[in-house]
Amino acid sequence: MDGNKQFSGAPGAVAVELSAEVRTPLERTATSAKASVRDALRARIVLAAAEGDSNAEIARSLPASINTVRKWRDRFASHGLAGLADADRSGRPRRYGGLVRIAVVAAATSEVPDGADTWTHAAIAERVATTVLAPVSAAWAGRVLADLDLKPHKVTGWFTRRDTLEFWERARDICELYRNPPHGAVVLSIDEKTAIAARSRKHPTSRATPGRAARREFEYVRHGTASLIAALDVRSGEVLTEAIARNDAATFTAFLDRLDAVIAPGTQIHVVLDNGSSHTAKHTKRWLADHPRWHAHFTPPHASWLNQVELVFSALTRRVLRHGDFADRDDLIDKMDAYMIKRNETARPFKWTYAASPLQAA
């Protein structure tokens, strides 16, 4: 990989020889836009040295002194790629030993006392002071935790499924319904979006201009809420929506009655539903039993994202609700209706893909 022999033309300079497996990472670092300036400079010094350039020639071609060139040339010749890393610095001796650091970790991973819910650096330092009698500062405790990537304030949630087999069976049923809908049948995806706030800003919003984002008044006035029920035709992508006063089984089955009346008699209807109370109530089950052409497909518990109408609600939130300004509840409903009508003019079915790649945590 490298050698320590002298070569002619560069008296006192150590010869550098590179194998292919060593040259490749050096060239990558020397030309990378993401590499640090110092790492790229050290790589260029070694590459130039491997070409037989003297220290003076390398110093003239790079923004470096002869001493810098000599240092990294010699370090590489002696230690290879590892020699290009910064050497450990002595620094100030540790004030606290390993026992105190362990006490910090033990505190951060134990139950929080006095009814509190989250550890703070100050509380951890106080606990350490009482357990190992070391008066550490909150900042020092924070540095110990940062070195270990330990974040007691951060909580990641998860859901333990009671019946994994049922999840896959239901998910498979719904995905198969989307991919291969029964011939001649109507496939609907139905759900409610409730408690949509009708809010108006106290002062007008300033539109975006070149070099400046839109500016919105922080304060707003509440004008009540509205709720929406929507049915997505999975084949066409069109959506039928209706404002509702209550989100209960009677309202839900009344909406199904209106759908049943406009869908051609004799046509089989498959509907994807989540496990909301209005969908699983006894009243709804009786309605479905009395209408045998309706076939309900329920998503697994806590998996309403399998219901395609959720994608419509997501688009509605982004396009209308998130930055919307509504004078009153009726104005909110009118703007949601206008968006859905416009959307239906160019509606297309959703295309789902699955790459079999696990999601990465943000």
347 to 2, 234, 264, 306: CA distances (angstroms): 65, 11, 21, 20
Structure tokens at 215: 């500016």
Cβ count near 64 (within 10 Å): 19
- Contacts (Cβ under 8 Å, ≥6 apart) of 211: none
Mean pLDDT by 10 residues, the chain (362 residues): 40 82 92 90 93 91 91 91 84 82 92 86 92 88 92 84 82 92 95 95 88 88 95 96 96 97 95 96 97 96 91 95 93 96 94 60 40
pTM higher than 0.75: no
Rounded CA separation 123/125 (Å): 5
| pLDDT at 205 (0 to 100) | 86
What sign does the CA torsion over 351, 357, 361, 362 have? negative
Q: What are the helix and strand counts (H, E) for the chain?
A: 13, 5
Give backbone dihedrals phi and psi of 270, rounded to 5 degrees, phi first.
Answer: -110, 130
Rounded CA separation 288/273 (Å): 12
108 to 102, 122, 140, 312: CA distances (angstroms): 10, 11, 13, 43
85 to 1, 63, 77, 189: CA distances (angstroms): 17, 19, 13, 58
Give backbone dihedrals phi and psi of 46, rounded to 5 degrees, phi first.
Answer: -65, -40
- Contacts (Cβ under 8 Å, ≥6 apart) of 238: 232, 344, 347
Rounded CA separation 235/72 (Å): 66
CATH architecture of 164-205+218-345: 2-Layer Sandwich (3.30)
- Nearest to 226, CA basis, from 128, 329, 325, 137: 329
Structure tokens at 312: 């419509």
Q: Which helix (H) or strand (E) holds 227?
A: strand 220-233
| Amino acid at site 110 | S
Rounded CA separation 125/121 (Å): 6
**Residues 138-184: tens digit of each pLDDT:** 999 999 999 999 998 888 887 777 777 888 899 999 999 998 999 99
Is the Cβ–Cβ distance between 240 and 352 less than 8 Å?
no
What's the maximum distance between 2 C-alpha atoms anywhere in the chain? 99
| pLDDT at 12 (0 to 100) | 63
| pLDDT at 107 (0 to 100) | 92
Rounded CA separation 291/306 (Å): 24
DSSP state letter for 62: T
* Residues in the chain, total: 362
| pLDDT at 6 (0 to 100) | 37
Q: Which helix (H) or strand (E) holds 242?
A: strand 239-244
Structure tokens at 329: 């509840």
Rounded CA separation 102/97 (Å): 9
Give backbone dihedrals phi and psi of 209, rounded to 5 degrees, phi first.
Answer: -130, 165
DSSP state letter for 132: S
**Residues 231-250: tens digit of each pLDDT:** 999 999 999 999 999 999 99
| pLDDT at 88 (0 to 100) | 75
